[in-house]
Amino acid sequence: MNQPRSTPRVVAVRTPSKHYDILIGHGLLGSAPSWQGLPRCTHAVLVSNPTVFALHGEQALASMRAMAPRTSQVLLPDGEAYKDWSNLNTVFDHLLREGCDRKAMLFALGGGVVGDMAGFAAACYMRGVPFVQLPTTLLAQVDSSVGGKTAINHPLGKNMIGAFQQPERVLCDLATLATLPPRELRAGLAEVIKYAPIADPALMDWLEAHLDALLAGDAEALAHAVQRSCEIKADVVGSDERESGRRAILNFGHTFGHAIEAGLGYGQWLHGEAVGCGMVIAATLSADLGLITRAFAERVARLVQRAGLPVEAPALGLDRWFELMAVDKKAEAGDTRYVLIDAPGSATLRAVPRTLVEAAIRRHTVAPRAGAALPA
Ligand code: NAD
Ligand code: GLY
């Protein structure tokens, strides 16, 4: 096993249900110290998909072999479309066929799809077994692997069936990001940008200065972005593990983003692309309400644009927008409040008159082609 190139950065997550660390560094999948101190397990099970396994699976398996008497792997098909019950069952089939008991431990190697599925499987199998997150997308390293939300999709709604299950540890191996397609890296940047307006004005300044370095895959810049994002998420999750209040600010831009994803059909825009555009609309709405200056809203939009993410929303039709957002709100907050920036680095949830929301959506909507139906 290779020695780490440098000491990993460590972010502590302290929630009522579990305390654990996020380790961030290069080569952690193959670095023995990063795997030390995990609970003892009789069987280490890698959950991944064929794309990620082909690139990084052997390295993870080698580390797992060094810590557990038995190892095995189960590969799920690659893609959001497969984050469902039948593929979750594949994991349970594997665990049962292998005779895994409650001393088994799952290792989620992949992006948010694998992490959400492996985490949910760990929450359910024998009423709960430990699991470790080995996130390999930027989005997973800065968001989905941290905080214990796990879920699968239901035909009637995204992430509707799930559980809170905190991992034992998160190993963010920055080296895995080198194989990530550029579009996926940009989509992950949306979730990094998200943290700045809602929680950290200094991160906003830093992103403005280092966005090009991030897009170029600069190691130091990525390490800082992952660390700062994880620190902010750890702080929020530590104060509101089960999203009874403050954690909802992490959904900044997501109400609009989820409507874009669902309205266009999942897979048309990546989640991060839709969230990027959603943040631009939410920032405009915040400025329209007089909570922030127009200049600050434009800074958010400019960052999203520089990250190569869309800033113009598709013309879904206003009635369709509200229909889609109502479904999302019912699921996420139980009412019609929007996450808004109320000062640089601070966010709030507020009810907003529909006319103002419409105006913000209109301002960022691409004009439909001549002859095409106008939005409602
Ligand atoms: P993803 O898991 O689908 O990964 C994106 C693509 O990149 C996939 O094709 C994957 O195989 C590939 N990939 C992953 N790592 C790679 C690597 N190192 N090199 C090359 N290819 C690689 O998508 P995602 O954006 O990571 O995650 C999105 C999912 O995360 C959604 O299902 C969303 O609901 C969920 N999510 C969950 C939370 C949470 O708190 N649990 C938060 C945000 C998002
Ligand atoms: N990604 C939002 C949350 O974890 O709460």
pLDDT (0 to 100) of residue 368: 62
Residue 258: active-site member = yes
Is the separation of the CB atoms in 324 and 259 below 8 Å?
yes
The mean pLDDT value for 110-114 works out to: 98
pLDDT higher than threshold 80 for residue 6 = no
For ligand 2, the distance from its centroid to the CA atom of residue 149, given in whole angstroms, is 7
Q: What is the pTM of this model?
A: 0.95
Instruction: Read off φ and ψ for residue 119, nearest 5 degrees.
Output: -65, -40
Residue 233: active-site member = yes
Residue nearest to atom 2 of ligand 2 (CA): 250
Q: Considering just the CA atoms, what is the radius of gyration of the chain in Å?
A: 20
Ligand that comes closest to the CA of residue 250: 2
pLDDT higher than threshold 50 for residue 315 = yes
Q: 250-293 pLDDT, tens per residue? A: 999 999 999 999 999 888 999 999 999 999 999 999 999 999 99
Calculate helix-pair angle for 354-363, 271-288, nearest 10 degrees. Answer: 120
Query: Helix, strand, or coil here: 89?
Result: helix
pLDDT higher than threshold 80 for residue 302 = yes
Q: Which of 49, 87, 153, 251 is catalytic?
A: 251
Q: 181-214 pLDDT, tens per residue? A: 999 999 999 999 999 999 999 999 999 999 999 9
pLDDT (0 to 100) of residue 259: 94
Residue nearest to atom 27 of ligand 1 (CA): 112
**Residue 337, token pair as written in the block:** 């409040």
For the chain, counts of helices (H) and of strands (E): 14, 11
What is the position in ligand 2's atom list of the atom closest to the CA of 144?
1
Pocket test for ligand 2, best of 120, 133, 164, 250 (most atoms within 8 A of CB): 250
pLDDT (0 to 100) of residue 266: 81
Q: Which residue has the higher pLDDT, 61 or 328?
A: 61
Q: 329-339 pLDDT, tens per residue? A: 655 545 678 99
pLDDT (0 to 100) of residue 250: 98
| Ligand 2 site residues, Cβ closer than 6 angstroms | 143, 147, 149, 243, 247, 250-251
Q: What is the mean pLDDT of the chain?
A: 94
For ligand 2, the distance from its centroid to the CA atom of residue 327, given in whole angstroms, is 18
Cα–Cα dist 115/80, whole Å: 12
Residue 149: active-site member = yes
Least confident of 4-13, 312-321, 366-375: 366-375
Q: What stretch of H or E contains 71?
A: strand 70-75
DSSP 178-241: GGS-HHHHHHHHHHHHHHHHHH-HHHHHHHHHHHHHHHTT-HHHHHHHHHHHHHHHHHHHHH-T
**Residue 163, token pair as written in the block:** 């559980």
Pocket test for ligand 2, best of 113, 137, 146, 149 (most atoms within 8 A of CB): 149
- pLDDT grade for 345, boundaries at 50, 70 and 90: very high
pLDDT higher than threshold 80 for residue 79 = yes
CA-based nearest residue to 354, from 321, 327, 330, 331: 321
The mean pLDDT value for 83-102 works out to: 98
Ligand 1 close to Cβ of residue 258 (< 6 A): no
For ligand 2, the distance from its centroid to the CA atom of residue 250, given in whole angstroms, is 6
Q: Which of 186, 254, 299, 364 is catalytic?
A: 254
pLDDT (0 to 100) of residue 326: 87
**Residue 309, token pair as written in the block:** 């993410």
